[in-house]
A and B are shown apart, each in its own frame.
Chain A
C-alpha cells in the first residue's frame, strides 16, 4: 500500500482536464491546504532563484565569449558566485524541501500543527540566511564562489547565512521525518508510503552529510573570518567540505529519482515497477553517497593515494543504484507501452505520452543523465581525473546532471505540483509552452555542455573569465568553443524565461480546478517489500562504519601531517 493516507482529505470531484490518464481515486487525494501554503512558499523562492541565477549564467557566457564586458564595475566572479549559490544551493534546497514536504503530506497525511510550525521555522531560517549571504555577495564581500574555499576569506555574515540555510533545512527535514514516524506508529507492521520513505532517506543522508560543512563553518570559517583565530587548516576545511559536497549532489538527485520512480509511472498511466527495488536503491544511495567525497580531491597533496583509491572504489559502488534506476525506468515505460499496444522490441516507445510535459520534460532529463553519468565515471577514475580536473569539462558535466537531469525533473514536477497546491490546472496551452521550454533546454544544453566538454579536454580551465593567456594558440581554440557556449547559453536563458512564464501562470493566472498529484501504485505481483528495507538502525550502522573506514585515516593523516594554517586573503 504505497498510496495509503491516514487522515486523507477527499475533495469533491470537479471537472478534470481532458486528455490525462486520471481514473483512480488518487487524483482526489490532496496535499493539506495549510501544508500547501508552506510548500508554495518554497516555490516562490526557488523560481526567483532560477530567474536571477539564470540571468547570471547568461552574463557569464557573454563575458566568456570576449564580446561583452560587465557594466558598473561588477566582477565576473561576483556574478559566478551569484550563479553557483542561487542555482546550486538555493533553487535546489528550496525546491527539494517544498517538494518533499508536499510528498510527505500527500502520502503520509497532513502535518500536525507542531510539525508544520517547524517547517515554517526552517523556511524562515533558510530565508534569513539566504538574504544575509546574498547581501554580502552583492556588496562584493564574498566573491568566493559557492564552494567558498579557504584561504580566500569572505565576510563572516556570508558563512553565517549559509549556515542558517543548512540549519533551516535540518529543521524542515526533521518535521518531515516526524510525520513519517507518526505514520509508522499509527500503522504498525505496514510498509510505509514510498514517497514519504524516500523523503526520509534523503533527509537522513542530508543530516549526516551536512555535518561536515557545519563543522567546517562553525569551527573553522566563522571563528577565522571573525578574527577569533588567525589561521585555518586549509586541507582539513576542503576535506570537510567534500565530505559534504558529494552527498550534496545526491541530495539534489534523490528528489528527481522520487519523481522518476513514483510519479512518472502514474503520469504515463502505468505502475511502479518494484517497491522493494526502489527502496533498496535509496538505501544504497544513503550508504554510498557520503564516504566518497575524496574523489573531488584526487589531484590534491596531503592525502594518501591508497585512501583516494579506496574512495574511488566506493564511488563506483554508488553507480549501481543508478543502474537499477535506469532499468526500472525503461521497464515501466516498456510495460506501459506494451499495454497500450506497442509491438516489437521498441514499438512500445512510441506509445508514451510525448505531448504531456509532466512526462516529456523529466524524460529529457533522464536522457541527459546518460552522458552525464558516463562523464562522471571518467571524472571518478582516479588518475584519469587529471585529464579533466578543474577544466570546463566539469562544468559541462554538471550542467548535464544537476542543471538538466535534476532541474528538468523538478520543472516537470512543478508543472503539476504548483497547480495542485494553488487549486488551478495546467492548461493545454501552458502544457505546450512547457514542452517548448524542455526542447529549448535540450538544444541549448546540448550546444553549451557539448562545447564545454570538448574545450575541457583541450585544457580550458573552469571558473575563468575571458582570457587569451598571453596570445596562446591553445587559448584561441578554447575561445571558439566559448562562442558556442554563448549561443547555447542564450537558448537556455530563453528556456528559463518560458518556464518562469508557465510558473507565473500556474501560480496566479491559470483557471481554477484540480490538478492531480500523481502517485503510482505497485504493479500486482511486484513482490512484497522486505521489512529490513525500513530498518534504519541496520542501515545507519553500516553507514557509520563505511564513513569511519573511508575517513578516519585520511583525517588523522591530515591532522598529524598538517603544516601551519593559513591567514585569510581577500583577492577580489
Chain B
C-alpha cells in the first residue's frame, strides 16, 4: 500500500488536531469537572410529587453543601413547575429536575445548562450562574402536541436584590 507524502502529513496533522481536542475536553471534564449530566439517581416517576425534593419544587437556599442554592424542578406534559426561578448572580446552583410522564428537555437557553429528563431518572447539574439576566427555559425534546408551549424562566439577579444573600 502506497501513501503519498502529503497524505501522511495531512493525516498526522488531522489526527493530532483531533487528539488535542480530546485532551482539551478530557482535561476540562475529568480534571476541572465540566461534565454534562451523568446522574444515576432513579425515582418512581409516577410518585414524583410525593418524593423529596420534588414534593417541594422551587429555589432552596442550602447550607453546608458545595453549592449555595438548589433549584428543584418538575416537568410534565406540557409545563414546568415552578414557572419562574430566581437566583442571585455569582451563586453556585445545583439544578435537580425530573419528569412525571414522557421524556422532556431542560435547556436554559443561552447557557450550557442542557439536559434530558427521562422518566424514572433525576437529572442534575451544578454550575455557578455568573451572568445576570433573564433566560428562557425551553423543552427541547419532543414530548407531544404542546411541546413548544413548555417553558419557564431563570432570572439571575444582582445579589443585593435578594435579601437572603
Contacts and interface: CB of A to CB of B under 8 A. Distances in A.
Contacts of A274: 1-3
A323 B18 CA distance: 11
Interface in A37-72: none
Interface string A553-566: 00000000111111
Given A149-B103, A569-B77, A563 B145 contact: no
B42 A385 contact: no
A390 B10 CA distance: 33
A331 interface: yes
B14 A323 contact: yes
Interface string B75-116: 001100000000000000000000001110101111011111
23 contacts: A77-B145, A77-B147, A277-B7, A299-B115, A301-B123, A304-B38, A316-B19, A316-B22, A319-B18, A377-B18, A382-B36, A383-B25, A386-B114, A390-B105, A459-B107, A463-B142, A464-B138, A465-B147, A525-B2, A562-B120, A564-B45, A569-B77, A571-B146
Contact of A386 (B19, B36, B134, B141): B36
Given A234-B118, A301-B117, A470-B153, 9 more contacts: A234-B120, A305-B38, A316-B22, A383-B25, A390-B107, A459-B138, A563-B45, A565-B120, A571-B102
Interface string B129-152: 000001110111111111111010
The 6 closest A-B pairs by CB, nearest first: A571-B144, A459-B109, A563-B120, A527-B2, A467-B148, A461-B140
B136 A474 contact: yes
Contact of A461 (B18, B26, B41, B138): B138
Interface stretch (B27-35, B60-68, B155-163): B27-35
B36 A383 contact: yes
A313 B25 CA distance: 11
A13 interface: no
A377 B29 contact: no
Contacts of B35: 305, 383
A312 B25 CA distance: 10
A459 B149 CA distance: 15
Contacts of B77: 569, 571
B116 A301 contact: yes
Contacts of A464: 138, 140, 142, 147-148
B119 interface: yes
A361 to B, nearest CB: 26
A384 B22 CA distance: 11
A571 B102 CA distance: 9
Contacts of B55: none
Contacts of B103: 149, 151-152, 234
Interface string A290-321: 00000001111111110011001100100110
Interface in A108-141: none
A475 interface: yes
Interface size class of chain B, counting residues whose CB lies under 8 Å from the partner chain: 35 or more
A566 B148 contact: no
B141 A390 contact: yes
Nearest to B103: A149
B1 to A, nearest CB: 4
Contact of B110 (A235, A320, A459, A563): A459
A459 B106 CA distance: 11
Given A235-B118, A316-B21, A470-B151, A461 B105 contact: yes
B114 A301 contact: no
B165 interface: no
Contact of A566 (B22, B117, B120): B120
A298 B135 CA distance: 23
A72 to B, nearest CB: 16
Given A389-B114, A461-B105, A564 B36 contact: no
A177 B27 CA distance: 44
B138 A305 contact: no
Interface in A134-191: 145, 149, 151-152
Contact of A458 (B1, B14, B110, B143): B110
B7 A327 contact: yes
A392 to B, nearest CB: 9
A523 B95 CA distance: 60
Contact of A152 (B18, B107, B120, B143): B143
Contacts of A331: 4, 7
A75 interface: yes
A462 interface: yes
A234 B103 CA distance: 9
A381 B25 contact: yes
A276 B144 CA distance: 49
A549 interface: no
A561 B40 contact: yes
Nearest to A470: B151
B37 interface: yes
A292 to B, nearest CB: 13
A444 B142 CA distance: 26
A401 B82 CA distance: 39
Contacts of A24: none
Nearest to A153: B102
Q: Which of B37, B46, B113 has the most CB of A within 10 A?
A: B37
Nearest to A313: B22
B148 to A, nearest CB: 4
B39 interface: yes
A526 B42 CA distance: 57
A382 B121 contact: no
Contacts of A462: 140
Nearest to B143: A571
A277 B105 CA distance: 42
B128 interface: no
Given A301-B122, A382-B36, A562-B42, A312 B22 contact: yes
